[in-house]
Amino acid sequence: MSPYFALVLGYLRRYQKDAGVGTLISLVLPLSIAMLIGWFLLFVGWYLLGLPLGPQDL
């Protein structure tokens, strides 16, 4: 869990008084899914280009 979770929840409650943990998760979930898909596509593209995935033994 993010160490900033409580801080973000505090800012959210400033503008939406009845907000809770579920509200925050439902607002952040689409962003996290989009980032997951984006990073996966970047990894697939990197792999298909034949670029090294990490340091190689010399």
Residue type, 2: S
Give the total number of structural domains in the chain. 1
Across residues 33-57, what is the average pLDDT?
91
C-alpha of 4 from chain center: 13
Q: If you search the block for the tokens 């869990």, which residue do you land on?
A: 1
In a domain, 57, yes or no: no
Q: Residue 55 falls within a domain, yes or no?
A: no
Chain centroid, CA 30 distance in Å: 9
pLDDT at 31: 95
The answer as to whether 42 is a domain residue is yes
Within-domain flag for 31: yes
Range of the domain at 31: 5-48
User: Could you tell me if residue 39 is inside a domain?
Assistant: yes
Contact 47, 53 (CB under 8 A): yes
Q: Does the global pTM surpass 0.75? A: no
Residue with tokens 């970047």: 42
